[in-house]
Chains A and B, each alone.
Chain A
């Protein structure tokens, strides 16, 4: 007997309703496309709400010296020059417009005395550049975009998970998924699909990411034939909570340091002065006095080393802990209490104050926080055309964290929210344009693809006495945490690849209890496949890149290799046998007028 599957036809579907997804949907709608957004959670719960610090945009409201060229330079240098120059350029140029657009739609950023959008300091940014609302900028952004999308009447499929992309020949034709509420299948016929699914952090044990971050978009893209770029670069945010255990990994915003907080070890030493790398020596203060003067006089002083890019700070903290100078619960101290007034802290960092008070019973206006690195962001993602966001597969677009290239080997804080807006808008616009130009020659969904997708999704129900998805997930997290963490080496990576392979065999025999209706066990069983595929890509790319750079540190290759690896990206693709295969690809070279900006000065 035939099964009917609820089917919807759109010009553009956007998978994911975070900053990039919503911005893409708004852009596609504005370009005249019939658009839908599909998201795993309720609308407005996406991971963007976790972003705290701000949106980097060279508006020059506080420092007229700031402009897109400086922002471009900061982004490229922060990314250890492995960024796609064109993405960094577009981002630096277009971010201010995108921020003003949010204001146009009702966002209320903190203001300067002149009534303009206030901007704050962040690691790796030469000038105070981050438009912000206290320390809840991501919430402001998602709320604004959500309210805009609702006002425009864009269709939203909430709590709906996409499990497969559908193709017609080598073009996109749509997507297949299920409603979490009922477990019933749903099919989307759409020539253009925008992936905006975010990151992959749920494969690590200590992570600031939520359950949604299972690398769905990364895996779907690979399965559809697209390539992933820079997957070896995973950002460990230097400051995550470490105590109590249940909150381990929850983010402590970089604004704490931007607003004057400093890192100390158990001897009370500001240890970051011992970890200033050659690459940043010229622009980093080497005395406490100069560092402290910088907060009020940026022209004549260099930035404090606490505000080095995140990879540098995370590695430094890691070294201090390993050297036995850590805090009681295995972190280091982040101290703003002794440096700023209680009133200032509560005003500038309200949600941090709240978070420590309620979850750790620590008053950050009186005591130092205990923090340590936490898995935060993946620089790698779908390889896309910088201008349009289109992947190698016709009709498949990607924007936001799921897209790769923009951030190179390491992302600067504040560049993520800008990335979502700039490339979300571009992907939505180009997707709509592509769909509009098809005129009658659109792709068709094939019934046997639907059947295959349905069979695959239901597999865990037909296995009896198989493994519990929760325990497989925990094992994967342990493997990734211990073997593919901040510091890596060949032996551990090889072990990790073997472990991941054996876990992959085991997930063919998962079994779940209960029915399809809102069943987290089943949902996890489906997400696990994506996590494993993406973890494999990370581990294999990490094994391949024999140098240390940004979010990829090898203790067997501790140096940065400018002549060979500095000119290459690694691309991960899915091979015929279902395994991930990597290949090297030359890094696109910036034109001379942009290359000039990257020189030290």
Chain B
């Protein structure tokens, strides 16, 4: 069924901007990204929006819909009341480029800081032997489509620009956890994560998990286990005492 939908879309750039109203014909089965495309085709040909697959697999069309960080392609119009306008704004945590497009280079900086996978001395060369149960935890984290919604919603950087240098953010804690749990990785990144990547800044308020379109249990399965692993090497006096004599042998 076709009906007229009211949209309020933030338009502007680094110099400023405002919400602008549009009304476009939409269909029941459509998603928010379709509505934005209708605006482009019918009302504003230069409306900027980033998107690719339109199937929730590439993580490009991240934005905030009625104030909540979401993928536009996975937000069905039927989940919103027909008679109320839908507000679409760019991700708040990143500098705006134009309209709904933001500069997400923060995430690429953090990606470059990760120490890459390094095979162990026992199995230096693929093909590796690894059991399914041993790869499963890391596999969950590798489902990440890098939409950066978790980075956007995380108040550590969302509300505190000054933390950006010191904080890798949930997406990359996922990565540190993935490598720490990789059955054939040789490096220890626990202290690095805590001391230089800002793991301690996270106060586990779980918004990253709430917004993850891949339903990765970021907090419970990656960040908290990483925090516990950090305790093992940094804050646990008993383990610390137990380890020392071993180290001398």
**What residues of A have a CB within 8 angstroms of the CB of B117 in the complex?**
105-106, 147
Which of A86-94, A189-197, A352-360, A408-416 makes up part of the contact surface?
A: A352-360
B40 touches A518 (CB 8 A): no
B135 touches A245 (CB 8 A): no
With A245-B30, A515-B46 given, is the CB distance from A103 to B56 under 8 Å? no
B142 touches A133 (CB 8 A): yes
* Interface assignment of B50: CB less than 8 Å from any CB of chain A: yes
B45 touches A246 (CB 8 A): no
- Which residues 177-234 of A have a CB within 8 angstroms of B? 181, 210-212
**What residues of A have a CB within 8 angstroms of the CB of B198 in the complex?**
none
With A50-B58, A133-B142, A358-B74 given, is the CB distance from A470 to B45 under 8 Å? yes
**What residues of B have a CB within 8 angstroms of the CB of A469 in the complex?**
45
A42 touches B55 (CB 8 A): no
* Interface assignment of A72: CB less than 8 Å from any CB of chain B: no
Complex partner residue of B126 from A103, A151, A244, A245, CB under 8 angstroms = A103
**What residues of A have a CB within 8 angstroms of the CB of B215 in the complex?**
354
With A45-B59, A104-B119 given, is the CB distance from A250 to B29 under 8 Å? no
B56 touches A49 (CB 8 A): no
**What residues of A have a CB within 8 angstroms of the CB of B119 in the complex?**
104
A43 and B146 CA atoms in complex are apart in Å by 10
For chain B, the bracket of interface size reads 35 or more
A41 and B60 CA atoms in complex are apart in Å by 9
A158 and B142 CA atoms in complex are apart in Å by 22
Number of A-B contacts (CB under 8 A): 170
Q: Smallest distance from the beta carbon of B114 to chain A beta carbons, Å? A: 8
* Interface assignment of A562: CB less than 8 Å from any CB of chain B: no
* Interface assignment of B138: CB less than 8 Å from any CB of chain A: yes
Q: Smallest distance from the beta carbon of A268 to chain B beta carbons, Å? A: 26
**What residues of B have a CB within 8 angstroms of the CB of A110 in the complex?**
132, 135, 139
Which of A114-122, A256-264, A286-294 makes up part of the contact surface?
A: A114-122
> What are the interface flags for B34-47 relative to A under an 8 Å C-beta threshold, 1 for contact and 0 otherwise?
10000011001111
12 CB-based A-B contacts, threshold 8 Å: A41-B58, A47-B53, A111-B135, A116-B127, A143-B142, A246-B29, A247-B54, A354-B56, A470-B40, A518-B48, A518-B101, A520-B45
5 tightest Cβ-Cβ pairs between the two chains A and B: A244-B29, A514-B46, A106-B117, A521-B45, A115-B129
19 further A-B contacts with Cβ under 8 Å, apart from A250-B54, A512-B45, are A41-B50, A42-B104, A45-B59, A45-B146, A49-B145, A101-B126, A106-B116, A108-B130, A108-B139, A117-B127, A139-B143, A143-B142, A148-B116, A151-B116, A250-B55, A468-B45, A471-B41, A514-B46, A520-B40
What is the interface of chain B, defined by CB distance below 8 A to chain A?
13, 27-31, 34, 40-41, 44-60, 74, 76, 97-99, 101, 103-104, 108, 111-112, 114, 116-117, 119, 125-132, 135, 138-139, 142-146, 179, 182, 185, 215
What is the interface of chain A, defined by CB distance below 8 A to chain B?
41-45, 47, 49-50, 59, 100-101, 103-106, 108-111, 113-118, 133-134, 136, 139-140, 143, 147-148, 150-151, 158, 181, 210-212, 243-247, 250-251, 351, 354-355, 358-359, 468-471, 474, 512-515, 517-522
